[in-house]
Amino acid sequence: MARRSRHRLLLLLLRYLVVALGYHKAYGFSAPKDQQVVTAVEYQEAILACKTPKKTVSSRLEWKKLGRSVSFVYYQQTLQGDFKLAEMIDFNIRIKNVTRSDAGKYRCEVSAPSEQGQNLEEDTVTLEVLVAPAVPSCEVPSSALSGTVVELRCQDKEGNPAPEYTWFKDGIRLLENPRLGSQSTNSSYTMNTKTGTLQFNTVSKLDTGEYSCEARNSVGYRRCPGKRMQVDDLNISGIIAAVVVVALVISVCGLGVCYAQRKGYFSKETSFQKSNSSSKATTMSENDFKHTKSFII
């Protein structure tokens, strides 16, 4: 009896050692099966199946979610935490309303007594949750000058798998290869369907219009509201006219200053200031003289 107890204790210690080292080929342990990948659309149903022998009365089942830390999903015949609303079907977990936070790697562990001791079997399931894109954020400049480089940006952070992007002008889809389009459109743009950028190498007045972007993946698609971009030509004649007007104003001011100097307006003002200061000096000297005279008397 004591010998059998020691043998069982040795098997238990070996079990925990093998689980800790991640090696499953020891006696009494089944090698892990090929990992399952379960794909589910967000807010729909997902079933995590544990592919082990049929459940018996003496079987003990545990489900764990793996990650930076291991958390129990099913323990002591009770669903734990966020999985309390799920349902157990034999060894399997049925999640009725899966969300993106449920994505990850799960492991079921089934232990049952055998003639050689405690037997442990494991199965790993990876749950991937597909998420439709949200309304993408679109950056479209309201105005631009003809001949310049202009870039429009579109981005979505929700979709899984990562969405691809398509740009529309005035409700009409822009081709990824602009050279295949009509001759009435500017063919100098470059569209990146992965990053969502639309770049005009030399924007022209033909590019004036309302732009919107669509993010699409295998689950769904969303489009941002249209934004108008106005492209104007650079007004060369207006710039030249403004320069001419400024030059004329400077010339007129210069001629006015020269005319004033010739007429002696600036010199008269100076002589007036000098005579003013000399009269003040004379008055002060007379007052000082009177004051001195009265002091002597």
Note the pLDDT tens digit of each residue in 169-191.
999 999 988 776 555 566 689 99
Residue 95: give the domain boundaries: 34-130
> Does residue 45 sit in the same domain as residue 96?
yes
The set of residues, in sequence order, having a beta carbon less than 8 Å from that of 201 and lying 6+ positions away, is 149, 188, 189, 190
> Does residue 39 sit in the same domain as residue 90?
yes
Question: What is the CATH number for 148?
Answer: 2.60.40.10
Which tens digit of pLDDT belongs to each residue from 118-132? 788 889 999 999 999
Phi-psi region of 271 (alpha: psi -120 to 50; beta: other; left: phi over 0): alpha
Structure tokens at 269: 């003002």
pLDDT-based confidence at 296, cuts 50/70/90?
very low
Separation between Cα atoms, residue 225 and residue 227, nearest integer Å = 7
% of the chain residues with pLDDT over 70: 67
Q: Compute the mean pLDDT over every residue in the chain, rounded to the nearest whole number.
A: 78
Burial 118-150 (b: 16+ CB within 10 A, else e): bbbbbbbbebebbbbbeebebebeeebeeeeeb
Final residue before a domain boundary, out of 130, 158, 189: 130
Tell me if 260 is assigned to some domain.
no
Q: Examine the pLDDT at 222 and tell me if it is beyond 50.
A: yes
The structure tokens 């007052």 sit at 287
How much is the average pLDDT of 61-90? 90
Domain count, the chain: 2
Higher pLDDT: 262 or 80? It is 80
Which tens digit of pLDDT belongs to each residue from 159-168? 999 999 999 9
Final residue before a domain boundary, out of 232, 258, 288: 232
Separation between Cα atoms, residue 229 and residue 252, nearest integer Å = 42
Strands 71-75 and 117-130: unpaired
Higher pLDDT: 259 or 144? It is 144
Tell me if 179 is assigned to some domain.
yes
Q: Examine the pLDDT at 26 and tell me if it is beyond 50.
A: no
> Does residue 161 sit in the same domain as residue 204?
yes
The set of residues, in sequence order, having a beta carbon less than 8 Å from that of 139 and lying 6+ positions away, is 152, 153, 154
> Does residue 143 sit in the same domain as residue 112?
no
Separation between Cα atoms, residue 267 and residue 274, nearest integer Å = 10
- Residue 198, judged by CB atoms within 10 A of its CB (0-12, 13-18, 19+), counts as buried
The whole-number pLDDT of residue 289 equals 42
Pair 193, 166: CB distance under 8 Å? yes
Tell me if 29 is assigned to some domain.
no
% of the chain residues with pLDDT over 90: 46
Distance of CA 198 to the CA centre of its chain: 17
Pair 28, 117: CB distance under 8 Å? yes
Higher pLDDT: 291 or 24? It is 291
Q: Which helix (H) or strand (E) holds 263?
A: helix 236-263
Separation between Cα atoms, residue 67 and residue 12, nearest integer Å = 25
> Does residue 156 sit in the same domain as residue 186?
yes
Final residue before a domain boundary, out of 178, 198, 232: 232
